[in-house]
Amino acid sequence: MRLRRCAAVLFVLAAVLSSSWFGIASAQAPPRPASSAAKPEGTLLQVMRAILFTNSNIIFAAQSHDPATVKPDDSPSDSTNAPTSMFGGWEAVENSGIALAEAANLLTIPGRVCSNGKPVPVQNADWIKFVQGLRDAGMATYKAAQTKKQDAIVDVSDQVSNACANCHDVYREKTPAQGGMAARCTK
Protein backbone atom coordinates (compact mmCIF):
# COMPACT_ATOMS: atom_id res chain seq x y z
CA MET A 1 0.00 0.00 0.00
CA ARG A 2 2.78 2.37 0.94
CA LEU A 3 4.61 1.59 -2.28
CA ARG A 4 1.48 2.40 -4.35
CA ARG A 5 1.05 5.78 -2.61
CA CYS A 6 4.70 6.59 -3.16
CA ALA A 7 4.44 5.60 -6.84
CA ALA A 8 1.24 7.65 -7.24
CA VAL A 9 2.87 10.71 -5.65
CA LEU A 10 5.90 10.34 -7.89
CA PHE A 11 3.65 9.97 -10.95
CA VAL A 12 1.70 13.14 -10.10
CA LEU A 13 4.88 15.03 -9.33
CA ALA A 14 6.45 13.94 -12.62
CA ALA A 15 3.29 14.92 -14.48
CA VAL A 16 3.20 18.35 -12.88
CA LEU A 17 6.83 18.99 -13.76
CA SER A 18 6.26 17.76 -17.29
CA SER A 19 5.17 20.41 -19.77
CA SER A 20 3.13 17.87 -21.73
CA TRP A 21 0.70 16.82 -18.98
CA PHE A 22 -0.70 20.26 -18.04
CA GLY A 23 0.35 21.99 -21.25
CA ILE A 24 2.49 24.50 -19.39
CA ALA A 25 6.21 25.03 -19.48
CA SER A 26 8.23 23.53 -16.70
CA ALA A 27 10.30 25.85 -14.54
CA GLN A 28 13.32 23.78 -15.58
CA ALA A 29 12.66 24.06 -19.32
CA PRO A 30 15.43 26.05 -20.99
CA PRO A 31 14.37 29.28 -22.68
CA ARG A 32 14.09 29.22 -26.42
CA PRO A 33 16.81 31.10 -28.27
CA ALA A 34 15.86 34.23 -30.16
CA SER A 35 14.77 33.50 -33.70
CA SER A 36 17.51 35.64 -35.21
CA ALA A 37 20.09 38.27 -34.40
CA ALA A 38 19.11 41.93 -34.56
CA LYS A 39 18.94 43.11 -38.12
CA PRO A 40 18.59 46.73 -39.19
CA GLU A 41 15.40 47.68 -41.00
CA GLY A 42 16.02 51.36 -41.71
CA THR A 43 18.93 53.49 -42.76
CA LEU A 44 20.80 55.61 -40.25
CA LEU A 45 19.00 58.68 -41.58
CA GLN A 46 15.60 57.03 -41.02
CA VAL A 47 16.52 56.11 -37.44
CA MET A 48 17.76 59.65 -36.83
CA ARG A 49 14.58 61.25 -38.16
CA ALA A 50 12.15 58.77 -36.62
CA ILE A 51 13.63 58.46 -33.14
CA LEU A 52 16.49 60.79 -32.33
CA PHE A 53 15.23 64.01 -33.94
CA THR A 54 11.69 63.78 -32.59
CA ASN A 55 12.72 62.81 -29.05
CA SER A 56 15.51 65.40 -28.88
CA ASN A 57 12.98 68.07 -29.79
CA ILE A 58 10.76 67.02 -26.87
CA ILE A 59 13.74 67.40 -24.55
CA PHE A 60 14.74 70.77 -26.03
CA ALA A 61 11.15 72.07 -25.82
CA ALA A 62 11.02 71.20 -22.11
CA GLN A 63 13.69 73.86 -21.50
CA SER A 64 11.27 76.69 -22.25
CA HIS A 65 7.84 75.03 -21.83
CA ASP A 66 7.18 73.43 -18.45
CA PRO A 67 5.91 69.93 -19.29
CA ALA A 68 3.67 70.03 -16.19
CA THR A 69 1.65 72.86 -17.79
CA VAL A 70 1.14 71.17 -21.16
CA LYS A 71 -2.56 70.40 -21.55
CA PRO A 72 -3.48 67.01 -22.95
CA ASP A 73 -5.25 66.81 -26.31
CA ASP A 74 -9.02 66.35 -26.28
CA SER A 75 -8.41 62.70 -27.08
CA PRO A 76 -5.01 61.99 -25.52
CA SER A 77 -5.06 58.29 -26.38
CA ASP A 78 -5.21 59.23 -30.09
CA SER A 79 -2.66 62.03 -29.91
CA THR A 80 0.42 61.84 -32.11
CA ASN A 81 1.99 64.67 -30.11
CA ALA A 82 3.91 63.02 -27.26
CA PRO A 83 3.76 65.94 -24.78
CA THR A 84 -0.06 66.19 -25.16
CA SER A 85 -0.74 62.45 -25.29
CA MET A 86 -1.87 60.23 -22.46
CA PHE A 87 1.82 59.74 -21.66
CA GLY A 88 2.55 63.44 -21.91
CA GLY A 89 3.96 66.08 -19.63
CA TRP A 90 7.07 65.09 -17.72
CA GLU A 91 6.52 61.43 -18.60
CA ALA A 92 7.01 62.35 -22.27
CA VAL A 93 10.37 63.91 -21.40
CA GLU A 94 11.35 60.82 -19.39
CA ASN A 95 10.34 58.61 -22.32
CA SER A 96 12.36 60.74 -24.71
CA GLY A 97 15.45 60.24 -22.56
CA ILE A 98 14.89 56.48 -22.61
CA ALA A 99 14.31 56.62 -26.38
CA LEU A 100 17.70 58.30 -26.91
CA ALA A 101 19.46 55.77 -24.70
CA GLU A 102 17.78 52.83 -26.43
CA ALA A 103 18.33 54.32 -29.88
CA ALA A 104 22.04 54.24 -29.12
CA ASN A 105 21.74 50.46 -29.32
CA LEU A 106 20.23 50.76 -32.80
CA LEU A 107 23.24 52.77 -33.93
CA THR A 108 25.54 49.84 -33.19
CA ILE A 109 23.76 47.11 -35.15
CA PRO A 110 26.10 45.79 -37.85
CA GLY A 111 24.68 45.96 -41.34
CA ARG A 112 22.89 49.30 -41.03
CA VAL A 113 23.69 51.64 -43.88
CA CYS A 114 23.81 55.38 -44.24
CA SER A 115 21.55 57.20 -46.67
CA ASN A 116 24.38 57.05 -49.22
CA GLY A 117 24.48 53.23 -48.99
CA LYS A 118 27.77 53.10 -47.11
CA PRO A 119 27.89 50.99 -43.95
CA VAL A 120 27.53 52.75 -40.61
CA PRO A 121 31.03 52.72 -39.07
CA VAL A 122 30.00 50.71 -35.99
CA GLN A 123 33.54 49.39 -35.51
CA ASN A 124 35.22 52.82 -35.37
CA ALA A 125 36.47 53.80 -31.91
CA ASP A 126 35.12 57.32 -32.22
CA TRP A 127 31.69 56.03 -33.34
CA ILE A 128 31.55 53.78 -30.28
CA LYS A 129 32.50 56.75 -28.07
CA PHE A 130 29.89 59.01 -29.69
CA VAL A 131 27.17 56.38 -29.30
CA GLN A 132 28.07 56.00 -25.62
CA GLY A 133 27.79 59.76 -25.26
CA LEU A 134 24.28 59.59 -26.70
CA ARG A 135 23.35 56.74 -24.35
CA ASP A 136 24.69 58.70 -21.36
CA ALA A 137 22.82 61.84 -22.43
CA GLY A 138 19.60 59.87 -22.75
CA MET A 139 19.90 58.39 -19.27
CA ALA A 140 20.87 61.78 -17.81
CA THR A 141 17.73 63.23 -19.42
CA TYR A 142 15.61 60.45 -17.97
CA LYS A 143 16.95 61.13 -14.47
CA ALA A 144 16.59 64.90 -14.85
CA ALA A 145 12.99 64.56 -16.06
CA GLN A 146 12.16 62.48 -13.02
CA THR A 147 12.98 65.52 -10.86
CA LYS A 148 10.33 67.49 -12.76
CA LYS A 149 12.56 70.58 -12.65
CA GLN A 150 13.13 72.63 -15.78
CA ASP A 151 16.55 73.74 -14.55
CA ALA A 152 17.64 70.10 -14.60
CA ILE A 153 16.43 69.78 -18.20
CA VAL A 154 18.28 72.96 -19.21
CA ASP A 155 21.48 71.47 -17.82
CA VAL A 156 21.03 68.09 -19.49
CA SER A 157 19.97 69.60 -22.82
CA ASP A 158 23.56 70.72 -23.31
CA GLN A 159 24.67 67.12 -22.87
CA VAL A 160 22.14 65.97 -25.50
CA SER A 161 23.17 68.74 -27.88
CA ASN A 162 26.85 67.94 -27.43
CA ALA A 163 26.29 64.22 -27.96
CA CYS A 164 24.61 64.98 -31.27
CA ALA A 165 27.18 67.58 -32.33
CA ASN A 166 30.16 65.35 -31.52
CA CYS A 167 29.02 62.76 -34.01
CA HIS A 168 27.62 65.19 -36.58
CA ASP A 169 30.90 67.12 -36.68
CA VAL A 170 32.70 63.99 -37.83
CA TYR A 171 30.13 61.95 -39.75
CA ARG A 172 27.31 64.17 -40.97
CA GLU A 173 27.31 65.71 -44.40
CA LYS A 174 28.25 69.38 -44.35
CA THR A 175 27.40 71.96 -46.96
CA PRO A 176 30.01 74.52 -48.04
CA ALA A 177 28.22 77.10 -45.87
CA GLN A 178 28.71 74.79 -42.89
CA GLY A 179 32.44 74.56 -43.55
CA GLY A 180 32.88 71.39 -45.53
CA MET A 181 31.92 68.89 -48.15
CA ALA A 182 32.37 65.66 -46.16
CA ALA A 183 30.17 62.82 -47.35
CA ARG A 184 27.67 61.41 -44.90
CA CYS A 185 29.01 58.53 -42.79
CA THR A 186 32.62 58.92 -43.83
CA LYS A 187 35.65 60.52 -42.29
Count of positions (residues) in the chain:
187
Tell me the pTM. Answer: 0.74
3-state secondary structure of 55: helix
In the chain, what is the greatest distance between 2 CA atoms, to the nearest angstrom?
Answer: 94
CA distance 65 to 111: 39
Percent of the chain's residues with pLDDT above 90: 59
pLDDT at 136: 98
Q: What share of the chain is helix, strand, coil (3-state, %, to 5)?
A: 60, 0, 40
pLDDT tens track for 10-25: 444 344 344 433 344 4
Lowest mean pLDDT among 68-72, 89-93, 151-155, 183-187: 183-187
- 140 has pLDDT over 90: yes
Average pLDDT, the chain: 82
CATH number of 44-178: 1.20.120
User: Is residue 120's pLDDT more than 50?
Assistant: yes
Give residue 19's pLDDT: 40
Three-state DSSP state, 186: coil
Write the DSSP string, 63-76. TTS-GGGPPPPSSG
Cα–Cα separations (whole angstroms), residue 101 to 2, 25, 149: 62, 34, 20
Amino acid at 40: P
